[in-house]
Amino acid sequence: MLRAAIEAGQTGIRPVQRFDTSAFDSDLAALVPGTDTPPMLPGASERAQELMVQFAVAAGREALLHANWAGAEVALVLGTNIEDRERTYEDLLDQVATELDLRGARLMTSIACASAASALGTAARMIERGDASIVLAGGSDVITPWVMAGFSVVGVLKPGPCTPFGAAFGLSLGEGAGLLVLEHPAHAAARGAVVRGLICGAGLAADGFHLTRPDPDGRGLAAAAQRAGAGPYGYVNAHGTGTEANDAAEVRGVVRAVGEVPMSSGKGLFGHAQGAAAAIEVISTLLCMERGRVPPTWGTTDLRAGAPAEPLLGPSRDLPIERWLKVSAAFGGANAALAFGPATPTLGAGPVYLGAVEAVGPHGVGLQGLAGGYQRGGEVDLGLAEQQCRRSDLSREDPTGVLVVSTATRLLRAAGLRMQRNNRRMVGVIVGQARTSHTTVERMHQEIEDDGPGGVRAGTFARASMVAAAGLVTRELGLHGPCNVLSCGALSGLVALVEAAEHLRSNDLTAMLALCATETGPWTGAGGVLLQREPTAVQVVGWAIGGGSHEAHTIERSGAAEHLMRIVPDASGAAGLWGFAQAQNLCEQHGSVVVVGSSLGISAAITLRRAR
């Protein structure tokens, strides 16, 4: 059905009936049919979350059916940009996993409009290192009155349907879910599975440029594409939202990375499905390619200046492609790319060392008195946290943002790492967040309550996304390396560190930061770990994640050690990072230590060894 709709250019963009759109610049969006009633009222977070789960479960069920897989050991990596109000991401993941009976590791990725691309890349890395042999991965997202209000006030909604690269600027929102079954080639071959595509590379990179606008030269997007693999590529499935800022920057970035190649965008059919976009667009591309075709840029007739040289306007045409790229860009300056096709040689793996551990909390800053302070609980002094950050005024930022920037600043200082023009691309950041900034999400809903749906402030909306804190770190400190945001409750910090280690090992990087912060709860503050290429006293020799009930196996894959240290998971996940101060001492004492943590849905382990 989907392939027929793509080939016929049948768009899902239509008038919105789910809620009142009179305060917005457009009344059009691509909504999932049959979900208009009951009406969604402003502030109806619960209903929005229910729809997100419903879309994910429906798509997941279909994906597993098509993959002909009924076994239970399936991991779940879900991208979304839905707000975590009322329920947490961990809670939503649990529901999706339970309804689909998935028992492998589960986590969310949330880098706004690039969330699904991040999910597919994260899942591919998990498969590559043996965390899972089969993963259900993709994204699910929902159009809510406040999301539409936010895009409207930022000035990017188009009154008519979206026409990517077209003469009239602007986007149409979309929603839904796209999920793919990813598995190890050996696993697929052993069970005789039908292989519909091969992910041969995944790259992430931050612009470190602006809260909502992409780097005008597309430098972050180009870096993400280059990390996904050298190519050559015969086709690029674009982010192509139709906005003035995105399309121009994206075309420049793609040309910078892979040269002039045929390019098309599916946003004229699906709208911009936010945190699900990349997954839906990858599925549509794979479907077309099974017939030797590429999905066209439907909707567009008149091209704007700066459009791709070959924008593949409809109808769909035959174009045999060996290797292709999917690119996504997001608020916060996050970029993600996925390469499909035959495997290419990858960069050799390099060593990873523990560079620095830092914390900011009610005890003050640094590690002195942290454990006692954590036991007592209490609130962090945000003024003190802000004093750690020297570059600019953070008075407009929410507590989560201030906490991660202050921790990151201290980490770079402790490791003696000075960010300059020539090393920005070589340092990246992975943020593990159990929750989005409560302060900002509540402020946004207060604005709606006070001034109606049209009353959402652009600044509040742009910061209400989980990627906001990570994006702020990349801008404040000039970190243009890989940037990702993971969420899995109390394990968020430890899992972020695993992801950071993986990027540092396999990419041409100098250092990676893992950060985790909380502004609510009995203890507020942040923890962070800096991993580096340059040798220190402690080497990180192994890491793994696995299902919540498979901790022993996760430890085994990470690598056995003289001593086992258990992270007692706190609600925020930050202890999973500053706990490495103790792990460092234990390692120097015992020679090696494996740090492990587990929750209902996921377990993670990292093995440290004393370096000579």
Q: What residues line the site for another protein (CB under 8 A)?
A: 153-155, 210-213, 392-393, 395-396, 443, 457-459, 462
521 phi-psi bin (left φ>0, alpha ψ -120 to 50, beta other): left
Pick 17 or 446: Cβ nearer another protein: 446
590 is known as an active-site residue: no
Exposure string (b/e) for 143-160, b if CB count within 10 Å is 16 or more?
bbbbbbbbbbbbebbbee
Q: At 506, which amino acid appears?
A: S
Minimum distance of another protein from residue 463's CB (angstroms)? 9
Half-sphere exposure of 495 (CA within 13 A, CB side): 35
Torsion of CA 323, 329, 333, 335, to 10 degrees: -20
66 is known as an active-site residue: no
Minimum distance of another protein from residue 476's CB (angstroms)? 13
Pick 155 or 364: Cβ nearer another protein: 155
The conformation of residue 274, written as its DSSP 8-state character, comes to G
Minimum distance of another protein from residue 195's CB (angstroms)? 44
Minimum distance of another protein from residue 18's CB (angstroms)? 24
Pick 445 or 550: Cβ nearer another protein: 445
- Written as one string, the DSSP assignment of 169-212 is --B-EE-EEEEEEEE-HHHHHHTTPPP---EEEEEEEE--S-SS
Q: Which of 83, 176, 194, 140 is nearest to 463 (CA)?
A: 83
Minimum distance of another protein from residue 326's CB (angstroms)? 28
CA-CA distance, 543 to 536, in Å (whole number)? 18
CA-CA distance, 150 to 70, in Å (whole number)? 40
Pick 9 or 155: Cβ nearer another protein: 155
Pick 334 or 354: Cβ nearer another protein: 334
**Partners of residue 340 on adjacent β-strands:** 199, 324
The conformation of residue 290, written as its DSSP 8-state character, comes to T
Catalytic residue, chosen from 113, 483, 488, 516, is: 113
438 is known as an active-site residue: no
Please give the helix or strand (H or E) that residue 453 lies within, else none.
none
Catalytic residue, chosen from 162, 184, 187, 239, is: 239
CB atoms within 10 A of CB 10: 12
Catalytic residue, chosen from 162, 187, 210, 272, is: 272
CA-CA distance, 396 to 209, in Å (whole number)? 17
Pick 425 or 443: Cβ nearer another protein: 443
| Active site residue ranges | 113, 239, 272
